[in-house]
Structure formats: structure tokens, C-alpha cells
Amino acid sequence: MLPHQILFDEKTIRVRVDEMAESIASDLEGKQVILLGLLTGSFVFMADLARALFRFDIEPKVDFLAVSHYGQTKDPTRPVRIDKDTSMKVCEQAVLVVDDIVDSGRSLAKVMEHLRLQQPAWLRSCVFLDKPSLRLVPLKADYVGFEVEDVWLIGYGMDLAGEGRGLPYIGKVEQ
């Protein structure tokens, strides 16, 4: 396992996800919502968020999108590509795009624009972690769990070269 320091423990994560779900449920005002998770990192957060929304009488539909732009490099200027689109009709639906972390903002911006063209009735973005210091496009997520500094994070669905994804907390990788 990679050496790391716990940044957000399980209890802190659970409390924050519940707070976010309460805010989202309030904004939805009882509407049915489609949660669209960005693969792969969002799957743990999205599962917790779906269960938390259910506690606020919102039973979401769930689907995923896959977006890529780095390929085998870490070049943030490569074009963003949607590799897997949603299989659900989003026109005139309430849609919440869910991601684990937003840094440059390029992937989330691409997905939001792609979905806007499909004319959902309600479209918002929800990220568990936000690294605004790395933003390359003007983007602000509608719901944010925590703002974090520019460090590599693992756990709670996020990994580094395949390690750490299953950790029940979020850890800061030690250099």
C-alpha cells in the first residue's frame, strides 16, 4: 500500500455526504433525478450519495459516463473525449452529474455541455472534492464536499496506479 496520511475519515465522509444529500433533495423539491457518475473514481461516492438521497425520499436512477483526455500521458491539453455516454434519456429530466474530484475542470465542463445540448429540465454537478488551484476552465460545481489542496489523493474510489481505490477513507499520498 502506498504511504499516505488520512485526510478525511469514514465518519467525516458519511456526515458530509448526508449534508450534501439533504441540500440536493431540498433543491430537487421531490423531483425524480438521474445520477450520472463519471467513471471510474465516482462509483463509491455515488453509491453513498444514492443511499443518502433515499433517506430524503429521493430514489434516483443511476447511470455512468466515461470521459478521458489524458490517455497514457499527463498532458492536460489533450482533447476531452466521452468514451461511454449515458443510456438514459435526459431530455426534460432532472440530472445530477457526480464526480469524485474536479481539478482542471475540463472533463466536467465537457460533460455538462454535452448534457445541456440534450435539454434536461434540471442539470447540476456534484463533486466530492474540489482542487480549485488547478482549474483551467471557468467552472464551479453546484455541490462540493470538500475543497482540497493540490496533492494526490487515494481512497473512497480514487487511486494512484490502481492502488488505494478500496480504502474507506480519503488519504493524502506521501511523496
Q: Mind listing the pLDDT tens digit for each residue in 56-109?
A: 999 999 999 998 865 544 556 678 888 999 999 999 999 999 999 999 999 999
Residue 18 annotated in active site? no
Site of grid cell 465537457:
110
Q: Which domains does the chain carry?
A: 4-173 (3.40.50.2020)
What is the phi/psi pair of residue 11, to 5°? Answer: -65, -45
Active-site residue, selected from the candidate residues 103, 130, 142, 150: 103
Q: What pLDDT sits at residue 77?
A: 66
Give CA–CA dist 54/160, Å, rounded. 31
The amino acid sitting at 8 is: F
pLDDT beyond 90 at 12: yes
CA–CA distance, 98 with 18 (Å, rounded to integer): 15
CA neighbours closer than 13 Å in the CB half-sphere of residue 153: 26
Contact yes or no for 174/158 (Cβ under 8 A)? no
